[in-house]
Structure 1
Amino acid sequence: MKCVWCHNPESMSIKKQLSFNHSKCQSCGECAKVCPKGVHSFVEDKHEVKFDDCDACGLCVEACIHRALKIYGQEMEVEQVYNEVAKDKIYFDKSGGGLTLSGGEALKQFEFSLALAKKCKENSIHVCVETNGASKPEHYQAIAPYVDLFLFDYKATGDKLHKELTGMPRRLVDAI
């Protein structure tokens, strides 16, 4: 799903991503000096970034003393994520909270989401999946036994409008 207006644009890619804060940049050019991909350029003192060419190596982030650049995302194993979640188990037990798998589409990384949901349920941690409904129906069926709550992000009524706004027909979401 590629919505016209996405409230989670950072989740469209599962890869690490470079972020650039224009207001912090002083156009010093240090990032351009260290970038092996030539992602950074300066035109009339305006810093331009070719995000599509960036491999998120982080060299420019390290070189930027003004903290205008940041890498978002990191690769983690299920056990690593679970260990972070489990740190709050006492709070979850008292509050009724737990893990929320979210994103643009939480099930975009289905095998990971399923394994994490199973691990949390085995350890009595409440599991919620926030979804836009764009995953395969069999994914929802497989993960459902390990999920306490599904939150569906309702996009639009009617197949034509839904396709116009999201790039996919509503009937696929309705199939769930």
Structure 2
Amino acid sequence: MKTGYDLWRTLLLLWTIAGLITGGALIEGIGSADQVITSATTDGSVMSSSAYLSGDTSITSRIFGSGLTTIDRETGTGMAPSSLLQARSDGSLLIGTYAAAEQKRKESPVACVFGNATESPAPSEIEASGILWNGSYSGIWAMQPFESITTAHGTGILDLRHHLAGNTTLSGRTIATGNLSVIEHITTDQGESP
């Protein structure tokens, strides 16, 4: 039993390292995660290293990492040079994002998961104490309870659901962990991009 557990831990470590090196790849799917594993680097960036969805679908992707807040739907990669991701002991998040102009265009393939903090009326820093701000390419913002759903709507925008199930401290940051579902994209909502 112990040998099998050690082997699982070794494989998990190798998988996480591979994700850190490659930046990961986003595989879109629908399902409820049996397991969500997160890690954090010394600069406070957060990696969602793996999540096993219902069925045979799994993802290994850099949702957050070294300022990453925009995700290309094809490659699972992207960048936001001036982003901030912190978490408090109660699981609430403080998020501020910035995306380059060429990454905001409606025809761009990237999905800005948490919107663009330089685009009015979004504040530069967004305090989420049970509530998280979300936006779209069009600059329309909405509020959703963080305990149930985290969403950025619009054509090509990913819908990330994160149901809280406790807190885990990683590299000095407290990151809420729990069940994760990834829904491919949503095209009809108040934040839909025309």
TM-score over 0.5 (shorter chain) = no
| TM-score calculated relative to the size of structure 1 | 0.27
Greater Rg over alpha carbons, structure: 1
Which of structures 1 and 2 has the larger relative contact order (alpha carbons within 8 angstroms, sep 6+)?
A: 1
| TM-score calculated relative to the size of structure 2 | 0.25
